[in-house]
């Protein structure tokens, strides 16, 4: 009898607990209101992705929304216009969405990941209050028509690991506070209208592995502090207005594999260190580099791409280039080089176009000397 009562009480307790648990774990009304305001500011005409944003439990079956099981708060918003999602394949088209990103998003104070990417038509500015979301780790608005500036207080998002605003219409400078993002690993601001200079203390971004800033209006010089970023593997500053020399210390970086500085106004000489570094993908094309190509190549020189075309380089092609362990694609065209093209295995497969438009180069694959 006593056992039966005890069992009964246990069952009641379990049910009560489950009910309490469920009500705590369901979408809190403030998060629900914020999501509905976000939905109201966006317009997605083709797939009806917001049709699932209905009812009161935003933590279950709302397309692209997920909650933290601990806190029951909205933790992730993941809306991508181009994905493997069957919703897109079935319709044989990619996503399109207009509207703006509502500042109501800043009321989702436990948000850890915010991706609203590749919708092509979303306009308006990045809500400034976004910098008050202390848990934000991933912030991806790539592939829209977002304009205005990067919020000046972006550096407050100290947990941020991914910042991707690529392919938008963002203008203005890179905020100086950005270099406070000590967890940032992936920075992609490609193809915007960002101007001003790179912060001098860019090198404080100690966790950065990819810095992709090409196709903007960035001027000034390359901060030498960049060379302090131990994990940086990919640096793309191409198609900007950058001037001044290449800091020689860049060639000493531990894991830098891709260095694209092409289509800028970079002057001075090619630092010898770049040619015997871990860099395998080097594009310095379309700058104002002068002087000679340093005669320092060796077995540690391994290049899938080395493009030095459209500069003001003089002198011979250095003989040491034959001792490089590999040269895939070489372009030395449109310079002022002269003399005999070295003969050797890294050069056997190269076409004349690698060497044309120089002052007086000769030998295979060009005409004999
Ligand atoms: C960077 O962070 C430090 C310390 O947290 C703070 O004092 C400083 O004002 C921040 N710098 C910027 C430019 O936000
Ligand atoms: C190097 O950069 C130039 C100018 O931006 C570009 O035209 C060229 O295709 C690039 N070279 C390679 C091998 O990608």
What pLDDT digit, counting tens, does each position of 37-65 carry? 999 999 998 888 999 999 999 999 999 99
Residue 285 Cα to ligand 2 middle (Å): 6
Least confident of 132-136, 231-235, 317-321, 343-347: 343-347
pLDDT-derived band at 14, boundaries 50, 70, 90: very low
Q: Tell me, what's the pLDDT at 1?
A: 42
Report pLDDT digits (tens) over 230-263: 999 999 999 999 999 999 999 999 999 999 999 9
Ligand nearest to the CA of 152: 1
Q: Which ligand is nearest to the CA of 284?
A: 2
* Domains, in order of start, for the chain: 28-362 (3.80.10.10)
- According to DSSP, the β-strands at 171-173 and 98-99 are unpaired
Residue among 131, 155, 178, 202 whose CB has most ligand 1 atoms within 8 A, to mutate: 155
List, chain by chain if needed, residues with CB within 6 Å of any ligand 2 atom.
238, 262-263, 283, 285-286, 305, 307, 329
Ligand 2 atom nearest the C-alpha of 238 is 5
Ligand 1 atom closest to 176 (CA): 13
Assess whether pLDDT exceeds 80 at residue 77: yes
Rounded Cα distance between 298 and 345, Å, is 13
From atom 14 of ligand 1, which residue's Cα is the shortest distance away?
Answer: 177
Around ligand 1, the residues with Cβ closer than 6 Å are 155, 176-177, 180
Tell me the CA–centroid distance for residue 92 and ligand 2, in Å. 33
Mean pLDDT of the chain: 92
Sheet (strand 281-283) strand order: 65-67, 74-80, 113-117, 138-140, 162-164, 186-188, 210-212, 234-236, 258-260, 281-283, 302-307, 326-331
pLDDT of residue 317 exceeding 90, the answer is yes
- Mutate which of 177, 183, 206 for ligand 1? The one with the most ligand atoms within 8 Å of its CB, which is 177
Q: Ligand 1: which atom is nearest the Cα of residue 155?
A: 14
The 10s digit of each residue's pLDDT in 86-144 is 666 666 677 899 999 999 999 999 999 999 999 999 999 999 999 999 999 999 999 99
């Amino acid at each position: 009898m006593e056992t039966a009562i005890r069992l009964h009480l246990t069952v009641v307790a379990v049910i009560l607990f489950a009910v309490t648990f469920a009500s705590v774990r369901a979408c809190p009304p403030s998060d629900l209101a914020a999501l509905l305001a976000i939905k109201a500011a966006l317009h997605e005409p083709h797939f009806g992705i917001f049709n699932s944003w209905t009812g009161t439990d935003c933590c279950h079956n709302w397309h692209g929304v997920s909650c933290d099981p601990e806190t029951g708060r909205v933790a992730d918003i993941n809306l991508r216009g181009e994905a493997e999602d069957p919703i897109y394949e079935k319709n044989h088209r990619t996503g399109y969405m207009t509207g703006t990103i509502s500042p109501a998003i800043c009321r989702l104070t436990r948000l850890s990941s915010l991706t609203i990417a590749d919708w092509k038509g979303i306009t308006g500015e990045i809500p400034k209050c976004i910098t008050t979301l202390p848990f934000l780790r991933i912030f991806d608005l790539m592939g829209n028509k977002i304009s205005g500036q990067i919020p000046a207080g972006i550096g407050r998002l100290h947990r941020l690991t991914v910042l991707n605003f690529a392919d938008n219409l963002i203008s203005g400078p890179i905020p100086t506070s950005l270099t406070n993002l000590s967890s940032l690993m992936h920075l992609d601001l490609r193809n915007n209208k960002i101007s001003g200079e790179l912060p001098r203390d860019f090198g404080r971004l100690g966790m950065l592995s990819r810095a992709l800033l090409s196709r903007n209006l960035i001027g000034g010089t390359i901060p030498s502090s960049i060379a302090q970023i131990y994990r940086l593997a990919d640096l793309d500053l191409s198609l900007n207005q950058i001037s001044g020399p290449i800091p020689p210390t860049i060639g000493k970086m531990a894991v830098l594999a891709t260095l694209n500085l092409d289509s800028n106004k970079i002057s001075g000489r090619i630092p010898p260190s770049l040619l015997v570094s871990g860099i395998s993908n080097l594009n310095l094309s379309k700058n104002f580099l002068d002087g000679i190509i340093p005669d320092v190549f060796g077995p540690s020189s391994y290049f899938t791409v080395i493009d030095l075309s459209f500069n003001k380089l003089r002198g011979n092609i250095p003989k040491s280039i034959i001792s490089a362990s590999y040269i895939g694609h070489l372009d030395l065209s449109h310079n002022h080089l002269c003399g005999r093209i070295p003969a050797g295995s890294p050069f056997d497969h190269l076409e004349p176009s690698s060497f044309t438009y120089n002052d007086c180069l000769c030998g295979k694959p060009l005409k004999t000397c």
